[in-house]
Structure 1
Amino acid sequence: MNKLQKGFAVLLLTVSGVVCAQELPYSEGPVSVVTRVKVMDGQFDNYMSYLQKSYRPVMEAQKKAGNIISYSIYDASPQGPSDADLYLVVRYANMASFDGLRQRSEPVALKVNNQTREQANEATASRAKMREILGSEVVRELVLSP
């Protein structure tokens, strides 16, 4: 390495060290999974009843087990006929919460609903007459520094 290359390497290491040492104006917060739901015509009350009787007890048990932080249900005003009119939001502590999540959460849900995996799959399929899942998105809260 010649003197110019050595000087450039030292400068690069110095600058990258300064950049790494600077604090970011935010920190990474909790992670949410936002599921977009289109409720079928005439099925809103039926779907809300399902959420009250089945979804809520499972989410409460998941909170108690430490698998989630919280959950929320949001009503929305769709802009078009194929837009979501309901959002299900589940908050997790961080991205690491997703490691092994199915192995931790599935037994909790099956126990709460007193179901086998096959029965749970059938129940999920039967809800298709009440709603269509349009998709899910994972978002992370960014908490601004004081």
Structure 2
Amino acid sequence: MKSACAWCAALLLAGVSIVHAQERPYKDGPVVEVTSVKLEDGQFENYMAFLNTTWRKVEEEAKTAGLVLDYHVLAARPHDADDADLYLVVMYPNMAALDDSEAKFDPITAKVTKMNYKEQDEASGKRKSMRTIMGSELLRELMFK
């Protein structure tokens, strides 16, 4: 009986060692959303004015609410006519911050713009004369332990 218990204990310890040895050397970090924007000719300053007012205020409110860690606007030198001119970068604490994002961000946007979601959608459509959203990508930072 004692040898059976000792054998079980040895197996248990071996299993714990194997699990510990398989621990990854990194952990999940913040999530970054990168949106590619192609500007229409002559619309750079107009779009930057929008970003500096409405977009920036929404991001600041979201940052205050803890939904956003940071945000940036990056200018690019396009290689050809089909490449993005700007990249909008927003860093979230984790993927969970994006769950039910409309419920979290709509009140913030409504507060900043004084518009309901239908009016916000219409305003976004009007900005199409300034830019084309080429796409968006979600990236997760992997942080070494």
What TM-score, normalized to structure 2? 0.85
* Equivalence for 1:11: none
Distance 1:43 1:138 in 2: 26
Q: Structure 1: 5+ residue runs without aligned partners?
A: 1-13
* Equivalence for 1:44: 44
1:67–1:101 CA contact under 8 A, matched in 2: no
Q: Deviations over 1:25-78 (max 9, x none)?
A: 211110011000001110000000010111111110111111111111100111
* Equivalence for 2:64: 64
Distance 2:88 2:42 in 1: 19
Q: Deviations over 1:78-121 (max 9, x none)?
A: 11111111000111111111112210111111111111112111
Distance 1:102 1:69 in 2: 18
* Equivalence for 1:54: 54
Tell me by how many angstroms 1:22 deviates. Answer: 2.6
Equivalence map 1:1-146=2 (5 Å): 18-19=18-19, 21-145=21-145
Q: Percent identity?
A: 44
Distance 1:131 1:17 in 2: 55
Distance 1:38 1:114 in 2: 27
What TM-score, normalized to structure 1? 0.84
Taking only aligned residues, the RMSD between alpha carbons, in angstroms, comes to 1.8
Over 3 Å counting, the alpha-carbon distance change for 1:15 and 1:120 in structure 2 is: same
